[in-house]
Amino acid sequence: MNTPIDLFSPVKLGSHTLANRMVMAPMTRLRAIGSIPQPMMVDHYTQRATAGLIITECTMVSPMSNGYMNCPGIYSPLQVQGWQKVTEAVHNAGGKIFLQLWHCGRISHSSLLEGKQPVAPSAIAPVGALHTPIGKVPMETPRALEKHEISEIIEQFRYCAENAYKAGFDGVELHGAFGYLIDQFLQDGSNQRTDEYGGSVENRARFLLDVVKAVSSVWGADRVGIKLSPSNTFYGMFDSNPQATFTYVLQALNPIGLAYVHLMEPNETDLQNRDVINPVTPLFRPIYQGTLITNGNYTKETANAALARGDADIVSFGKLFLANPDLPKRFELNAPLNEPSFKTFYGSTNEGYTDYPFLEQVAS
């Protein structure tokens, strides 16, 4: 008789076995002062080491990949040293941790890039504004990447995958979602190139697959994941046929043998902006043959229901892990949950970062 699968069931993820199916989702927190991981980040991640897996916040692969103030990088020795302290502490606490590798592409501003123009597949401006050193400003029209620059960025991902290995991570996740560079190449609303990186879905997916192969050459594919958001509308992102586009990508990823694909469900803003795929994970579950992580404002009950249906193998939690460092214990005991403080999501202090109480602190 098969044992029912729920959040507390162990699971194989590539070459790792996770103690539970509760993943801490990557969340931008902007505590890396000067792009270098800080001691408070060591505390933040270590507090949440009971997650089956922690996926870090988006982490820059070069100075030109930046899109936010105080976002961490992994391209310099000081950054590697900062992350080493994080991984050592998480491992000492019994946890596993992947680093999310990221290039923002057009989601940036020259004031964040030492005066240089943001880059993208095509010179198409994103929608929205960013907080920058000169205040909150509209994003600029990016410069279309030259072909030789594309190969240079792929190499940056590979080099930073090596740095992540040196820093002691258990694997890496590629940020292929939310309108950043990999996503910008993939979707035809942001990619109007006429070379082998644009046009057909095969060409638009080429950059994504090239980066996957480059990073897998360092880690082995079974320690590499990728995050995708087929229904994302952030920053004016869209595709003329998202079902066909993401079906192609998932089919192309099948033979590679990744640790996982991390699929994002639409949020309320996506649903209000236009008619998007909803839900995402059940649609693509039959297409992708490997391990699927789903994310989408799940509760304990809805997450267990998704696992029981076979929609996904693992569920990631963002805001719940942000506010509840001991989330697995709280779920196990059906204990009350801390409420997240939205005003402290981003900032440079410990407030709303390492000061959420553990269950025993609440009880005492």
In contact, 239 and 189? CB cutoff 8 Å: yes
As a whole number of angstroms, the distance between CA 353 and CA 339 comes to 13
What is 256-315 written as a DSSP string? G--SEEEEEPP-HHHHHHS---SSSHHHHTTT--S-EEEESS--HHHHHHHHHHTS-SEE
By DSSP bridging, strand 16-18 and strand 22-24 are unpaired
- Among candidate residues 45, 159, 165, 180, the one labeled active-site is 180
3-state secondary structure of 9: coil
Bridge partners, 119 (sequence order): 143
Q: Which amino acid is at 301?
A: E
Active site residue 346: no
Q: What is the rounded CA–CA span in Å between residue 184 and residue 307?
A: 31
| Side-chain-side CA neighbours of residue 49 (13 Å) | 16
Gap between the Cα atoms of 124 and 143, Å rounded = 8
For residues 99 and 164, the answer to whether their CB atoms sit within 8 Å is yes
Q: Is the Cα torsion angle 45, 135, 66, 144 positive or negative in sign?
A: positive
Measure the N-to-C terminal CA separation of the chain; round to a whole number of Å: 42
Q: Which residues are catalytic?
A: 180
